[in-house]
């Protein structure tokens, strides 16, 4: 839990720094890119007059139209989009900051509830029998594996890294690193908040409580009373499906899209399998956890969707040797 909070706080600070850097540097990049494009056109006897070049260059940073990430380079016109907000998402520092703060506060409240749970008494332990479980969970009851538990933490830790790594590996995403890290922190924060609050309020014994493979003191400990629902599975699903969603939105024509979505499902299923083998969650816990995590990973970026993205794009264009602007609006 503590590691979860530290990671959220750290990446939120990083995203804030990136956002400030991107905002101050993007105007210069847009103006320079446009000027270089027009200069290259001049070598092909398509150069505009000096006044047009000056006007177009100065207009670049003030354009308000949202741009299409697929149209950053237009082969017909050698045009460069001049709007700086070429992202499928729209974030707001204050609004998203408040959401993240609320998520962290809820996580702390849930963590307090978890810490204050009661241990099982020997009499209560005696009532934990498989026949009282739903038929689809009985096959998991009694499972206990310390190795499976250790293995699950490898994937759990990796799930925190995967979205951030993809942001910096993919060149389209890298230009909006600050914004995307904000979405990442928000997704992980909300996932953690929902899990800790639920785990703190709901008493459901873990599968290892129903067998004799685990030590008696572990079966009686309050830590065995939070099977519902699985934080590891939910976090892995949220992180990996967030990665797939962001990649798809920034790279709509990439042939890798179906593989990344498939990998997200495989990693989530692998985590669920390990948690069931370890005896920490039932089948029903894992199904619900995967559904919640997947929904969170997809919905958070969807709720931040830039409504004007892919509708308006603008680029310089040469028509009969004259410089102009090409404006496209998709209905």
254 and 159 in a common domain? yes
- How many Cβ atoms from other residues are within 10 Å of residue 129's Cβ? 9
pLDDT digits (tens, 9 = 90+) for 32-63: 444 454 445 444 444 444 444 444 444 444 44
Say how far apart CA 83 and CA 129 lie, in whole Å: 64
263 and 314 in a common domain? no
318 and 295 in a common domain? no
CB burial readout 70-89, b (16+ within 10 A) else e: ebbebeebbbbbbbbbbbbb
164 and 50 in a common domain? no
Residues in CB range of 153: below 8 A, 6 or more apart: 232
In a domain, 18, yes or no: yes
162 and 256 in a common domain? yes
State the residue range of the domain holding 270: 119-173+203-303
In a domain, 97, yes or no: no
pLDDT digits (tens, 9 = 90+) for 268-289: 999 999 999 999 999 999 999 9
At 307 the pLDDT is 79
162 and 64 in a common domain? no
Number of domains in the chain: 2
At 320 the pLDDT is 59
313 and 264 in a common domain? no
285 and 256 in a common domain? yes
Say how far apart CA 193 and CA 110 lie, in whole Å: 7
77 and 21 in a common domain? yes
In a domain, 110, yes or no: no
In a domain, 267, yes or no: yes
131 and 25 in a common domain? no
Q: Which residues of the chain have pLDDT under 50?
A: 2, 6, 9-35, 37-39, 41-84, 312-316, 323-327, 329, 331
264 and 161 in a common domain? yes
In a domain, 183, yes or no: no
132 and 40 in a common domain? no
Q: pTM higher than 0.75, yes or no?
A: no
Half-sphere exposure of 172 (CA within 13 A, CB side): 19
């Amino acid at each position: 839990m503590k590691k979860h909070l530290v990671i959220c706080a750290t990446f939120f600070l990083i995203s804030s720094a990136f956002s400030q850097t991107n905002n101050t540097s993007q105007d210069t990049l847009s103006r320079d890119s446009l000027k270089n494009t027009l200069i290259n056109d001049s070598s092909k006897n398509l150069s505009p007059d000096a006044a047009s070049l000056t006007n177009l260059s100065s207009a670049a940073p003030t354009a308000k139209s949202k741009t299409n990430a697929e149209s950053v380079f237009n082969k017909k016109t050698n045009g460069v989009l001049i709007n700086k907000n070429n992202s499928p998402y729209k974030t707001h520092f204050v609004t998203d900051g408040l959401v993240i703060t609320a998520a962290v506060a809820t996580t702390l409240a849930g963590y307090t509830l978890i810490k204050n749970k009661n241990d099982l008494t020997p009499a209560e332990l005696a009532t934990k029998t498989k026949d009282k479980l739903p038929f689809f969970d009985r096959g998991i009851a009694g499972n206990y594996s310390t190795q499976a538990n250790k293995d699950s933490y490898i994937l759990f830790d990796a799930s925190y890294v995967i979205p951030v790594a993809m942001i910096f590996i993919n060149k389209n995403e890298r230009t909006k690193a600050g914004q995307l890290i904000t979405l990442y922190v928000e997704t992980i924060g909300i996932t953690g908040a929902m899990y800790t609050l639920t785990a703190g309020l709901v008493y459901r014994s873990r599968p290892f409580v129903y067998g004799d493979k685990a030590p008696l003191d572990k079966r009686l400990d309050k830590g065995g009373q939070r099977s519902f629902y699985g934080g590891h599975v939910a976090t892995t699903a949220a992180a990996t499906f967030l990665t797939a969603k962001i990649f798809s939105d920034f790279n709509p024509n990439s042939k890798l899209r179906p593989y990344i979505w498939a990998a997200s499902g495989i990693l989530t299923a692998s985590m669920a399998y390990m948690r069931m083998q370890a005896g920490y969650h039932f089948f029903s816990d894992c199904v619900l956890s995967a559904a919640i995590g997947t929904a969170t990973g997809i919905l958070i970026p969807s709720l931040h969707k830039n409504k004007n993205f892919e509708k308006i794009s603008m680029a310089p264009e040469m028509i009969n040797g004259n410089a102009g602007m090409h404006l496209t609006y998709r209905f």
